[in-house]
Amino acid sequence: MNDKLFYYIKMRKLSTYFLLFLLLSSQPIQIATLTSSVTVNYAEALQKSLFFYEVQQAGVLPEWNEVSWRADSMENDIIPGGWFDAGDHFKFALTIAYTATLLAWGYLEYGDAVKKAGLDDKYLKNLKWGLDYIVAADQGGSVVATIGKDGFDHTWWGSPEVYLRKMELQTGLTERPYDTTTATSVLALCASSLAAGYLVYKDPNYLTHAKSLYEAADKNRSNDDQGIAKSYYPATDFYDELFYAANWMYMATGDQKYLDECEKDFIPNFPNENQSPERKFTWGFCWDDHSQAAALLYALNTGKEEWIDQIHRHLEYWTTGYNGKQVQHTPDGMAWLFQWGSTRHAANTVFLALVAADKLFKDNTQLYNKYKQFAKEQMEYFFGNNKLGLSYVIGMGEKNAKTVHHRGASGIHDDHWNSLGTDDTNGFQTEYAHVLYGALEGGPNQDGSFTDTVSSYQNTEVAIDYNAGFTAALCGMIKDYGGEPLKDFPPIEKPKWPEFLISASINQAAGTYTELKVYAMNHSAWPTRVIKDLSYNYYFDISEILDAGLTLDDISVRIGNDQHKGAVGEVSISGPHLYKGTVYYVKITFSDGRVVMPTGQSEHRSECQFRISIPDPKQGIWDPTNDYSFQGLEQNVMKETPYITMYDGDKLIWGIEPDGTKPE
């Protein structure tokens, strides 16, 4: 994310002073066209993209959330709900509003196709989840801009369900920090999202908030007050967001004043090409540049030829070039604007191209076919029609990347994430716990290569804004190419490894005692969770003790080393308790088992050393070799063992009891 800051701070300057200079002096790029193609079930892709948004849900999850490995998280945020931004756990009003607007726009244009595919209900529920967050974030003249602990959020890897536990341990905070903003770009995007939401749902509350947010954005006209978000999504110009919002307000209200404001204030501030009076048609639509999206809405709202021509110039730039300027392309055909989230920019333009073809150029056969073909080729590229045969849509196509930069999907328990997707043999986790169905990965480098490592954020990160234009475009692709959602999706994921387990070693085993070291471990991920009433049993046979004339009273048990001694979670030991016949057990019980949590190297396991013994004068009587829980253990070598059993209250969650009882 530090790289994201660098790239986006430089974005406008690069586009104005460097990239466009190169483009002015270059010839149009000859775009490679792959002869092969892929067959895409666009309804399945939309179904999975909506699944991705359910993965990103924060707060108390709605009953319709179908992600089997997610659970409630960040329930005490100042504004509950919303979407986590990317592979981290921040919530930004800017990207949530941007995303919700695009999802609403896609539905407004192609809702009939979504309904025909049977995805109407799911689509509307996911969209409303984002919109309702923006309503709640509206503070009257400002919005809650960012929720999350700056610094901590990008240094810690773990699941959202245990974020607060780790944050409290590391920082002492029990609630996530937040800030508010009056930045025009953010307020205008919030207004856009709710105006678009009003058009979808006809909820007057959405329109009321949209009006007040728009008025505040228009009055303020400054992006000085951005707060923490400026470090991650630095908003630059704001007239493009005002132009965009004014069009949405006109569409929601029918009030001519919004179009008049466009003519009076926003169009005169529309950016120009470098050192030219010509309106800017280069660069691309994204969270910080709404120029071309606003131009398209204005063309649709007014029918003015000069704005239809503006969209024509922009789409020519993205396809075969206009006036000597053309977006870069990978050698195998993807329109490539920018290193960070290259698929995102192409997908956004696909959506603009689909809408423009269907609304502005439907009577121009040449342009209609050209922009529809562009959309088809770019979307097929995302799904694997590229030189790598790699689908950048996770859970779609014949081959996906090995890595994805996403904390929740990783299921990491020890904060060590660099080995994900590798052949690491040092014992660190290499396998992802979950399949992040439907997420659009950042995409290829300009040369068509792809750096498939979890640390290559530009290539492998995912984000709600990456999927926004892509999701809207999928609605249009369903209209053109149909498709059927999967009937058995989503699958209920089964654990790939034990979620709660025990490993142990022999410290010492002598003629009067057995001393052990035991790790109780929490590697949960389906979903990630903690257990308060946590304990485990060690079983041993006292037949030789009884044969020697001793009694149960001669056996003593005690804790030696306890990782949590004197603190929350301190363990206690009890017993011996009769199990059956001459088999007894000692129970080690945590005062609060939630201290064993999958949040880091020092928390995912809890160490305890304990001793079971008889009086010293009885040397040689004690024989551990017939003890059930002793089998397979080695001196000073920690080994996973099913013969020490773990419990959530009375429920067996790990191991095999002596009579063969296993966890459900």
User: If you write DSSP's letter for every residue of 28-68 in order, what string do you get?
Assistant: PP-----S------HHHHHHHHHHHHHHTB-BSPPTT---T
CB within 8 A of 33, min separation 6: which ones? 333, 377
Catalytic residue (one of 44, 461, 499, 541):
461
Run of H or E including 128: helix 120-137
Q: How far is the C-alpha of 200 from the C-alpha of 634, rounded, in Å?
A: 65
Extended beta strands in 390-512, E state: 500-509
What letter does residue 225 receive in the DSSP assignment? -
Known catalytic residue: 634?
Answer: no
Q: How far is the C-alpha of 272 from the C-alpha of 404, rounded, in Å?
A: 37
Task: Encode 151-198 in three state secondary structure.
Answer: CHHHHCCCCHHHHHHHHHHHHCCCCCCEEEECCHHHHHHHHHHHHHHH
List the helix and strand counts (H, then E) for the chain. Answer: 19, 15
Beta carbons of 514 and 540 less than 8 angstroms apart:
yes
How far does CA 351 lie from the centroid of its chain? 22
What letter does residue 228 receive in the DSSP assignment? G
Q: Which two tokens stand for residue 269?
A: 């501030």
Half-sphere exposure of 399 (CA within 13 A, CB side): 9
Catalytic residue (one of 109, 289, 452, 541):
452
Q: How far is the C-alpha of 247 from the C-alpha of 297, rounded, in Å?
A: 6
Half-sphere exposure of 551 (CA within 13 A, CB side): 1
User: Shortest CA distance to 590 belongs to which of 500, 526, 663?
Assistant: 500
| Amino acid code (one letter) for 411 | G
**Burial class, 155, CB count within 10 angstroms (exposed 0-12 / middle 13-18 / buried 19+):** exposed
Known catalytic residue: 564?
Answer: no
Beta carbons of 375 and 477 less than 8 angstroms apart:
yes
Catalytic residue (one of 154, 329, 345, 405):
405
Q: Which two tokens stand for residue 311?
A: 């969209």
**Burial class, 648, CB count within 10 angstroms (exposed 0-12 / middle 13-18 / buried 19+):** middle
Known catalytic residue: 452?
Answer: yes
CB within 8 A of 317, min separation 6: which ones? 281, 282, 325, 326, 327
Overall residue count recorded for the chain in this entry: 664
Beta carbons of 463 and 91 less than 8 angstroms apart:
no
73: number of Cβ within 10 Å: 22
What letter does residue 517 receive in the DSSP assignment? E
Q: What b-and-e string marks burial along 604-630, b requiring 16 or more CB atoms within 10 Å of the CB?
A: bbbebebbbbbeeebeebbbbeebbbb
Known catalytic residue: 168?
Answer: no
CB within 8 A of 465, min separation 6: which ones? 95, 98, 99, 286, 287, 341, 344
Which three-class secondary structure state does DSSP give residue 119? Answer: coil
Catalytic residue (one of 44, 54, 77, 88):
88
Catalytic positions? 88, 405, 452, 461
